[in-house]
Amino acid sequence: MNSGSASLWPTFLQAIVETLQMVSVTLLVGGFAGLVIGILLYTTRAGNLLANRPVFTALNVLVNTVRPIPFIIFITAIQPLTVEVTGTSYGTEAVIFPMAIMATFGTSRIVEQNLVALDPGVIEAARAMGAGPLRIILTVIIPEALGPLVLGYTFLFVAITDMSAMAGAVAGGGLGDFALQYGYQRFNPVVTWFTLGVIVVIVQLGQVLGNWLARRVMRR
Partner 1 sequence: MTAMVTLRDVSKTFTGSSGPVHAVDGVTLDVERGDVFGIIGYSGAGKSTLVRLINGLERVTGGQVLIDGQDVTDHSERQLRSVRVGIGFIFQQFNLLNSRTVAGNVGYPLRVAGWPKERREARVAELLEFVGLVDKARQYPDQLSGGQKQRVGIARALATSPQLLLADEATSALDPETTKDVLDLLRRVNLELGVTVVVITHEMSVVSYLCNKVAVMENGKVAEQGSVYDIFSAPQQEVTRRFITSALHDRPRPDVLERLRERHPGRIVTVSVREEAGSGTLLTQQLRAHGVDGSIVYGGITEVDSRPLGSLTLELVGDDTSIDALIADLRVRTDVEEHVRPAASGEGRSR
2 closest CA partner among 176, 183, 178, 173? 183
Q: Which of residues 146-165 bind partner 1 (CB under 8 A)?
A: 146
Let me know: does 29 contact 99? Beta carbons within 8 Å: no
Name which of 147 and 172 has its Cβ closer to partner 1: 147
> With binding defined as CB under 8 A, does residue 47 bind partner 1?
no
Rounded Cα distance, 53 and 120, in Å: 19
Q: Which residues, numbered 80-139, are part of the site for partner 1 (CB under 8 A)?
A: 119, 121-122, 124-132, 135, 139
Which residue number, 6 or 117, has a Cβ lying nearer to partner 1?
A: 117
- For residue 12, how far is the Cα from the chain centroid? 24
Residue closer to partner 1 by CB (options 84, 124) is 124
CB of 125 to partner 1, least distance (A): 4
Q: How far apart are alpha carbons 127 and 58 in whole angstroms?
A: 27
What value, to the nearest 5°, has the Cα angle with vertex 18 and ends 14 and 21? 140
Do 30 and 107 contact (CB within 8 A), yes or no? yes
Residues that contact partner 1, how many (by CB under 8 A): 20
**Given candidates 81, 143, 209, 216, which one binds partner 1 under the rule CB under 8 A?**
143
**C-beta separation of 181 from 168 below 8 A:** yes
Nearest distance in Å: CB 53, partner 1: 13
- In this complex, which beta carbon is closest to partner 1, that of residue 122 or of residue 190? 122
Residues that bind partner 1 (CB under 8 A): 119, 121-122, 124-132, 135, 139-140, 143-144, 146, 219-220
